[in-house]
Structure 1
Amino acid sequence: MNKPYIIVHMMTSVDGRIDCGMTAQLKGNSEYYSTLDTIGAPTRVSGRVTAETEMAEGSFNTKSKEKLDKITFQKNAVANSYNIVTDSKGRMIWETETSSVFPHLILTSENVSKEYIDYLNSRNISWIAAGKEHVDLKKAMEILNKEFRVDRLAVVGGGRINGGFLKAGLVDEISILVGPGVDGRTGQPA
């Protein structure tokens, strides 16, 4: 299988919590980003939950029931690196891509509405649709490598996206920074 070299890069507290708001307060948070730069993975993948809290501009409301229903892609922005977000159902709103050196690329399922695909195209946002109900990460990584020429990437999301890449057998390396602090809360992402 042709795919990018994939590194899961995370920062955690001593007690294993990964909540972004908490880890941002830990001493060593700046090392998370400098380490990310040194591992040589210019393309980054985030999951839907991380993207909704940190990047998206709101929620997309689909009016049409017409689905895409096929594996395909559209390269609307050409770059050496991408900010990739998984969004199986096409829920997030984005700013229009202009001449960014780190443009968004959305991974979605074949079950996404054609209306959402039209929306991404109107925003000049690249996308890959693979998988019937959820993103088929293996197929998406093949397309990403072959068509977008991405050779190396870091998964920088939370437990779900990390687990999805691990379950699909796509992880080549794990990079973990342990911040000097304890979260102590219950019911938080770990």
Structure 2
Amino acid sequence: MTVKVVCHMISSVDGRLLPGRWTKPVHPVNVTECYEAAASNFPADGWLIGRTSMAQYDDSISEGAPAGKRGADEPRPTPFVGKREGRMLAVVTDPKGKLRYTTPTLSTGEHLVAVLAPDTAEDYLEELRRVGVSYVFEGEGEKKLEGALAALEETFGVKLILLEGGGLINGSFLKAGLIDEFSILVYPAVDGLAGVPSIVGYAGEAHEQPAAGQPLELIEAKTLPGGVVWLRYRVEHSAA
């Protein structure tokens, strides 16, 4: 796999992700501006989030019933490149095909790319093509996310992508061993409540250790205006 995945997130001191719940800092800093300014330092081809996060991100996107499945005897579909027009990519993992789109472009300017299951029904794919939304397909079995990254590389030439959550999709990438770097902005605030979404939230069994064999090496630490701390860690994949 040659696509580099950087998990880029901003959180409270206790790792929580909902800014509306955070305490107010002594020296306020705009969360979005701080986050995007740091992200601009990476030569990324786009960013990737999960279905729930994307449905909340833009008013032009809604969530509906899952797409149908194609029959076992039907040929598997191929990726589609819609109306990209040279824009950065906004990739969403949506294997059930629940999202509905009215435009191929987000209000922030990025071109939408859906990552779907290989057996997604043709009528849903036709709907995406009509709107101009691009799509690729995840891999099979335990290689679902790895297959998605390979498809993004082959179809769009992606070399670096920012994984921007939520915690569940970040956890899935971590469990699959596909995160190469963590870029974490620690905002000077606290949430404090148990169960609030955090940077990584793999949905596994109590005995599972999704980060096992992936030690972190600090490669950079910066103090930004307002007391925000930017930490960058390389993920090593050689440990047993």
Aligned partner of 1:94 in structure 2 is 101
1:60 counterpart = 2:64: yes
Pairing partner for 1:34 from 30, 34, 37 = 37
1:10-29 pair list within 5 angstroms: 10-19=9-18, 21-22=20-21, 27-28=28-29, 29=31
1:117 counterpart = 2:125: yes
Aligned partner of 1:179 in structure 2 is 187
Q: Normalising by structure 2, what TM-score?
A: 0.69
Asked whether the 8 Å contact 1:81–1:150 carries over to 2, the reply is no
Seq. identity, %: 30
Unaligned 5+ residue runs, structure 1?
A: none
Pairing partner for 1:73 from 79, 86, 99 = 79
Pairwise CA distance, 1:65: 5.0
Asked whether the 8 Å contact 1:88–1:133 carries over to 2, the reply is no
Unaligned 5+ residue runs, structure 2?
A: 199-240
Asked whether the 8 Å contact 1:70–1:129 carries over to 2, the reply is no
The separation in 1 between residues aligned to 2:114 and 2:106, in whole angstroms, is: 17
Pairwise CA distance, 1:5: 1.4
**What are the Cα deviations for residues 45-79 of structure 1, in whole angstroms up to 9, with x where unaligned?**
01112112222522234685535773631111343
Asked whether the 8 Å contact 1:83–1:102 carries over to 2, the reply is yes
**What are the Cα deviations for residues 16-48 of structure 1, in whole angstroms up to 9, with x where unaligned?**
11125446x764412111001112224000111
**What are the Cα deviations for residues 72-122 of structure 1, in whole angstroms up to 9, with x where unaligned?**
311113435201111110001112226996210001112323221111111
Aligned partner of 1:167 in structure 2 is 175
The separation in 1 between residues aligned to 2:176 and 2:129, in whole angstroms, is: 28
Asked whether the 8 Å contact 2:114–2:135 carries over to 1, the reply is yes
The separation in 1 between residues aligned to 2:105 and 2:190, in whole angstroms, is: 41
Pairwise CA distance, 1:135: 8.2
Question: Larger deviation: 4-13 or 165-174?
Answer: 165-174
Aligned partner of 1:108 in structure 2 is 116
Asked whether the 8 Å contact 1:42–1:81 carries over to 2, the reply is yes
Task: Give the structure with the higher percent strand.
Answer: 2
- Counterpart residue identity of residue 121, structure 2: S
Q: Normalising by structure 1, what TM-score?
A: 0.85
